Amino acid sequence: MSNKKTAKALPTHRIYAVSRNGEQNATWAEIGAAWPHKDGGGFNLTFTARPLEGAQIVLRTPKAKKGGAL
């Protein structure tokens, strides 16, 4: 059996809550992840935290962190 069938797919996007303090300061907090539907028509979202009231929700592709991990 191939690993593609047995391994869970990694999320393609991360979910962030962005809270603004004034005009220029913004705090980004990762609050979840997203997996694309097989047909490409949407995403399944899993949240690990709730955003603060008034926070903007941002969906981004992950960037490699130091050491090469996503």
Query: Averaged over 13-26, what is the pLDDT?
Result: 90
Question: Looking up tokens 């005009």, which residue turns up?
Answer: 23
* Predicted pLDDT at 68: 63
Q: Is 5 helix (H, G, I), strand (E, B) or coil?
A: helix
Please say whether the beta carbons of 47 and 30 come within 8 A. Answer: no
* Predicted pLDDT at 2: 45
Query: Averaged over 31-35, what is the pLDDT?
Result: 97
* Predicted pLDDT at 27: 93
Which of 36-40, 43-47, 62-66 is the least confident region?
62-66
Q: Is 1 helix (H, G, I), strand (E, B) or coil?
A: coil
Please say whether the beta carbons of 58 and 15 come within 8 A. Answer: yes
